[in-house]
Structure 1
Amino acid sequence: MKKLTNFTILSLFFFSGIMSSCKKDILETIPNDRVSSAIYWRTESDAIYGVNSVYSALDAVNLFVLDGVSDIGHTNTTFTVEFNIENGTYDASHSRIQTEWQNGFRGIFLANDVLANIDKITTTNTALLDRLKAETRVLRAYYYLKLTGLYGDVPLITNPITAAEGLSIARTSQADVYEFISTELAAASSALPASYPTAEKGRITKGAALALKARAHLWSGDFAQAAEAAKAVIDLNVYGLVDEYGKLFTYAMENSKEVVFDKQFLAGTLTHNSFAYMGPYSQRNSSSNFVPTKALADLYTMKNGKEITDPDAGFDPMQPYLNRDPRMRYTMYLDGDPLPSGILFKPVPGQGGADEVGKTQYNTSTGYSLKKYVVAEDLQTPGASGLNFILLRYAEVLLTYAEAKIELNQLDASVYDAINAIRTRPDVGLPELQAGLSQDELRKIVRRERTIELAFEGWRLFDIRRWKIGEQVMRGPVYGITYFENGNPVTIEVPSVTRVFDPAKHYIWPVPQKETALNPALGQNPGW
């Protein structure tokens, strides 16, 4: 099957050499080792390749970082730069702060270049150009949504700018950025198809535009529009939940009905290193760069739907994974689970397992290890996975709809239906919520469901920020598994880790120091 990434590779080649317009000089010739703007933007293929290049800036493995510096994840090796974010010692010079800013604006630069030039193409197929422009506008909105979620006010740039202009441009208020995102997604959705032929899988659809709109309004606190946009996705009748949550992040489930928006990869051609980056150390020396924490593990209820702290739940500390929400085992490797290589995951100290906590600096420090995107097919080439990365799936749409309705205090049957659809997925099988719950009860439930359902898919940090719960969940020690030693329970406390969260500044990242040094007009966020 021809995948989007085939287009992306070609477009990366083309766009690596696009330059500003060539001077009309008799001695100046068009270079033959790159694509010049003097000869580009002439054919429909130019338009397609140009738009494909905008997809190349989409997120993938870097999404693990954003969950890894939240409460549900821990930076496993304390000598990596992300550990500074986790313990609150980072500042505007931090490399991750620069990288996320740079990547976001790279995508915006590519999108603006396409939108400024695509109409130069002469064609009778105006519907194609309209669709490609709509795809580009959605991608640009995606980049802006993530940027404003991380940094607050950011420069709103909608046209190509010169280097000189870039040295004086100011930031736009977050409210105005959200308004721009909403307007763009609403307009673009009308020009996009509900689906594509198999060869075009991975392109932005109408549903992706509307689902991103729902996400944007949820983040901005406009719950009425969030519910409306999510309901529009539901009413398309294009998407649905797959029966097996446990297979969502495998090759077998690529392009399933649950995938609304993803970044496409192709084994052997365009790859990423999710297995090597996140797999247990015993699996060909994978790195376990970020590992789940006790905070995440404890959120998974018993199979009967009761929290593990409920005396009537049936939780057995001696068998802590017995009769738990199955999503726990689908999300993380637990003691005794089979690994891709065929051995068992054995993290408990003193038991001699290859993944024993403390055995090497790369072994899991909490006793948990991520399972999503760590699949047996990639064992032999852990640094070259071809798995597609899901950026938005239908379960999030349902949770967005439910949360928005709960915040509006519109506690009708559709709220229960949305949450219950996720809880009662065939391979999850939790009991349905019964009607009559209060707004506060439903708020607690939907937030827990969102956290565990979407764990390590990249969006927990944004939820913490908009719920304003950083002070409660991102301070203090980091804990891991509880095991028994001489009959006594021992809970792992990761050594030398004390998380710090300052609400006066940590709800948004600083503007990168390199950017403010080049352009003082950007200013800086409070506290930084």
Structure 2
Amino acid sequence: MKKLVLSILVAGTLFSCRKLDQPITREFTETAYWRDSQDALDALTACYEHLSKDDYYFGDEALSDNAYNSGGGLINVNAIANGGYDGANGRVSDTWSYYYTTIRRCNTVTTNIDRVPNMDATLKARILAETRFIRAYAYFQLTAWYGDVPFYTDLITIDASRTIARTDKNTIQEFILTELADIQKDLPTNAQQSQNDRGRITRGAAIAMSARVHLFRSEWAAVVADCEKLIGKTENGTYALFGNYSNLFTVANEYNSEVILDLQYGGGRTYDKQRSFMPQTIAALRSVLVPTQDLVNDYIMTNGKAIGEAGSGYNENTPYVNRDPRFEATILHHGSKVIDFAGAEQTILTQPGSVPATNTVDDQGASPTGYYFYKYYDRAATNYASGLNLIMIRYADVLLMYAEAKNELGQMNAAVWNQTIQPIRVRAGFNDAGATQFNAALNQDQQRVVIRRERRSELAFEGLRVYDIRRWKTADVVMNRPVRGIKVTSGAFNKDPNGYIIVENRLFTNPKHYLWPVPTVERDQNKNLSQNQDW
């Protein structure tokens, strides 16, 4: 296990690579480093390589009510989701050490860049801005999961690493927001980037990330102010919804008009997580990261009504007919058709008794819920190793943050709706006025339900739901429900009174589980680290 001394002290020798999607290939010693601007750029690339990872991107979905992960894969997130974990949990320990390594790499850049002789001032400012963004992102992740954490912006000593205490999370988040505001002047817009700089942090990313932090803190006026710097304006970047929702998540359309920040893959850096979420007949492995029935139920009908709402037209016998078009673009269900890696069309059968049974809930290696994720399926992958970038922030999220903040301020109206929810739904494929037009009859609470449901449907399988249910303080409700799968009429399944498969019971205790425990191994090494409530 990694100790705090290792987590926040050992730099891991600085490595470099010329492109963000290439693995580290070269190593430098202190005496041979910081010779020129390329060394500084290479050190920055080492920071980018530790921005985040696919285990978190996909695993975070299973920390919410959107998905279920069976077994101990994805760094044992299932134990967190069902409440059966402590400070020794693999994901709890990994996240702490991972982001302190990120911070160490960033602090190495900010501390040493002045050693580069005769460096171009504009380039230096940009490198520092990108580095400070990555460090701010790492600290946001740490405060989101653990609350108060050790905070420093220098190269901490061994002795300090063994005695450093935790800093109040609000102090750290205020630092994050100050950093994100200060670096904007030194970052280019996406329109100013060259093709070789694609994937690097832009001014728009700093603004959108600031909005996300304010959103997490329920600072609604600040969310509005940030979003208004990007919506309908070009001085901070030129962004627009991409024309086709399904095609947004493909290699062919990387770096499209909607992407504000993505995690870089391709070249020598790939991931194979689709083997965990696609049907066995396609990915040739057990399907262990799967959608829940509760996620499926939140997709509205094409007329804009929720499935339980009067006049929706929902029929339990044909549950996937006339649903939100994003449902088919995100989730495979009984009867879905998909092109496999060989180019053949497969019909996915999930109901018990179907022939063949390979993808049905009868098979131990198939999805236990009867659903499979489809978004981020990359047919261009070789040997299942995908180089498809993972989108961390996109323009649709900015529109949704803006809509939520305006509603919380009591300012939701037709004009805001037409700027935000309406274009998102039209892009998705809705054309019924009931789905696309503003409903002035809804009060603030009812609009909140609509906006939150819209956010869930639009951003499903993008790792954001877990942050939403925690900031809304609804996790202790939605994560205390059983994980449910499809409705079945035969087979020896554990079912609820309505016939839906119960896959697992979950537990989320308020306030205990709203923060993870400080990892056991870290507290063993540093007795000054306090622990979170009830842990």
Structure-2-length-normalised TM-score:
0.89
Aligned counterparts of 2:41 and 2:371: Cα–Cα separation in 1: 43
**Which residue pairs with 2:371 in the alignment?**
368
Is structure 2 residue 527 aligned with structure 1 residue 524?
no
Q: Which amino acid aligns with 2:216?
A: W
Is structure 2 residue 224 aligned with structure 1 residue 230?
no
Q: Quote how far apart the aligned CAs of 1:468 are.
A: 0.6
**Which residue pairs with 2:3 in the alignment?**
none
**Which residue pairs with 2:6 in the alignment?**
none
Is structure 2 residue 54 aligned with structure 1 residue 61?
yes
**Mean Cα deviation higher: 269-278 or 94-103:** 269-278
Contact 1:64–1:458 (CA under 8 A) maintained in structure 2: yes
2:36 to 29, 43, 46: 43
**Which residue pairs with 1:514 in the alignment?**
521
Q: How does 1:79-478 map to 2 (within 5 A)?
A: 81-195=76-190, 196-234=193-231, 235-236=233-234, 238-267=238-267, 269-341=268-340, 342-378=345-381, 380-382=382-384, 384-416=385-417, 417-425=419-427, 427-429=429-431, 430-478=435-483
CA deviations 1:376-398 (Å, max 9, x no partner) are: 222x511x111011111111111
Distance change >3 Å, CA 523–CA 317, structure 1 → 2: same
Q: Which amino acid aligns with 1:321?
A: Y
State the SS of the aligned residue for 1:376: coil
Aligned counterparts of 2:358 and 2:141: Cα–Cα separation in 1: 35
Aligned counterparts of 2:378 and 2:21: Cα–Cα separation in 1: 24
State the SS of the aligned residue for 2:513: coil
State the SS of the aligned residue for 2:487: strand
**Which residue pairs with 1:30 in the alignment?**
none
Q: Quote how far apart the aligned CAs of 1:220 are.
A: 1.1
Contact 1:288–1:363 (CA under 8 A) maintained in structure 2: yes
Mark the runs of 5 or more structure 2 residues left unpaired by the alignment: 1-15
**Which residue pairs with 2:24 in the alignment?**
12
Q: Quote how far apart the aligned CAs of 1:348 are.
A: 0.9
Q: CA RMSD in A?
A: 2.1
Distance change >3 Å, CA 434–CA 173, structure 1 → 2: same
**Mean Cα deviation higher: 430-439 or 333-342:** 430-439
**Mean Cα deviation higher: 80-89 or 360-369:** 80-89
Q: Quote how far apart the aligned CAs of 1:284 are.
A: 3.3
Contact 2:487–2:501 (CA under 8 A) maintained in structure 1: no
CA deviations 1:55-107 (Å, max 9, x no partner) are: 10122322211111211111133788322112211001111100111111111
Q: Which amino acid aligns with 2:247?
A: K
Contact 1:10–1:49 (CA under 8 A) maintained in structure 2: no
CA deviations 1:238-257 (Å, max 9, x no partner) are: 11101111111111221011
1:493 to 496, 501, 507: 501
Aligned counterparts of 2:47 and 2:286: Cα–Cα separation in 1: 30
Contact 1:263–1:388 (CA under 8 A) maintained in structure 2: yes
Q: Quote how far apart the aligned CAs of 1:142 are.
A: 1.0
State the SS of the aligned residue for 1:158: coil
Contact 1:282–1:354 (CA under 8 A) maintained in structure 2: no
**Which residue pairs with 1:31 in the alignment?**
none
Distance change >3 Å, CA 123–CA 414, structure 1 → 2: farther
CA deviations 1:425-452 (Å, max 9, x no partner) are: 1534442323453211221111111111
Aligned counterparts of 1:125 and 1:290: Cα–Cα separation in 2: 47
Q: Quote how far apart the aligned CAs of 1:130 are.
A: 0.3
Aligned counterparts of 1:395 and 1:79: Cα–Cα separation in 2: 30
State the SS of the aligned residue for 2:282: coil
Q: Quote how far apart the aligned CAs of 1:353 are.
A: 3.3
Q: Quote how far apart the aligned CAs of 1:162 are.
A: 1.6
Aligned counterparts of 1:77 and 1:357: Cα–Cα separation in 2: 18
Aligned counterparts of 2:259 and 2:148: Cα–Cα separation in 1: 30
State the SS of the aligned residue for 1:283: helix
Q: Which amino acid aligns with 1:103?
A: Y
Q: Quote how far apart the aligned CAs of 1:484 are.
A: 5.0
Aligned counterparts of 2:187 and 2:72: Cα–Cα separation in 1: 45
CA deviations 1:6-25 (Å, max 9, x no partner) are: 524778334xxxxxxxxxxx
State the SS of the aligned residue for 1:506: helix
Q: Quote how far apart the aligned CAs of 1:521 are.
A: 1.1
Contact 2:111–2:154 (CA under 8 A) maintained in structure 1: yes
Contact 1:274–1:374 (CA under 8 A) maintained in structure 2: no
Using the aligned pairs only, state the percent identity. 37
Contact 1:76–1:362 (CA under 8 A) maintained in structure 2: no
Contact 1:271–1:386 (CA under 8 A) maintained in structure 2: yes
**Which residue pairs with 1:29 in the alignment?**
none
4+ residue segments displaced more than 6 Å: none
Q: Which amino acid aligns with 1:506?
A: H
Q: Which amino acid aligns with 1:246?
A: S
Contact 1:67–1:459 (CA under 8 A) maintained in structure 2: yes
Mark the runs of 5 or more structure 1 residues left unpaired by the alignment: 15-33
Aligned counterparts of 2:17 and 2:259: Cα–Cα separation in 1: 17
Structure-1-length-normalised TM-score:
0.90
Aligned counterparts of 1:207 and 1:510: Cα–Cα separation in 2: 33
Contact 1:477–1:493 (CA under 8 A) maintained in structure 2: no
Q: Quote how far apart the aligned CAs of 1:124 are.
A: 4.8
Q: Which amino acid aligns with 1:142?
A: Y
CA deviations 1:316-361 (Å, max 9, x no partner) are: 2111111100111111112122233221111111112354334443
**How many residues are aligned here?**
501
Q: Quote how far apart the aligned CAs of 1:375 are.
A: 2.2
Aligned counterparts of 2:100 and 2:522: Cα–Cα separation in 1: 12
Q: Which amino acid aligns with 1:70?
A: S
Aligned counterparts of 1:312 and 1:289: Cα–Cα separation in 2: 36
Contact 1:66–1:459 (CA under 8 A) maintained in structure 2: yes
Aligned counterparts of 1:280 and 1:10: Cα–Cα separation in 2: 29
Q: Which amino acid aligns with 1:402?
A: A
State the SS of the aligned residue for 1:363: coil
